[in-house]
Amino acid sequence: MGEITQIEQYVIDRVRERRKELGMTQQELAVALNVSNGFIGSVESSKFDDKYNLSHLNDLARILRCAPRDFLPTAPLD
């Protein structure tokens, strides 16, 4: 298994926060994103190294009614 980088974890955390703000379950987001039911859970779990790609971020922004940049830090991470 690979390791999730700091920036990847940041993105995962921001997507999870936004999903929860909107009261959306992992399964609801998976259906809207057209991925397997377990994918969102795998991404959000520290036990797996699944992560979102740029296409996912664009689709997630549309689904979660925000901009793709909302998932990214305003400055580079150390």
List, for residues 16-55, the tens digit of each pLDDT value: 999 999 999 999 999 999 999 899 999 999 899 999 999 9
Domain presence at residue 36 = yes
Contact assessment for residue 18 and residue 70, using Cβ atoms and an 8 Å cutoff: yes
Res 2 pLDDT > 90: no
What is the total count of domains within the chain? 1
Q: d(Cα 11, Cα 57) in Å, to the nearest integer? A: 9
Domain presence at residue 43 = yes
Other CB atoms within a 10 A radius of the CB of residue 45 amount to 12
* CB neighbour class for 24 (10 Å; exposed up to 12, middle 13-18, buried from 19): middle
Q: Which domain holds residue 58?
A: 6-69
User: Which CATH number goes with the domain that contains 60?
Assistant: 1.10.260.40
User: What's the mean pLDDT in 2-14?
Assistant: 93
Domain presence at residue 77 = no
Domain presence at residue 76 = no
Domain presence at residue 29 = yes
What local confidence, expressed as pLDDT, does residue 28 receive? 98
Which of 1, 2, 17, 11 has its CA nearest to residue 77?
Answer: 11
Domain presence at residue 64 = yes
Compute the Cα dihedral for 57, 58, 61, 67 and give only its sign: positive
User: What's the mean pLDDT in 1-8?
Assistant: 86
Domain presence at residue 78 = no
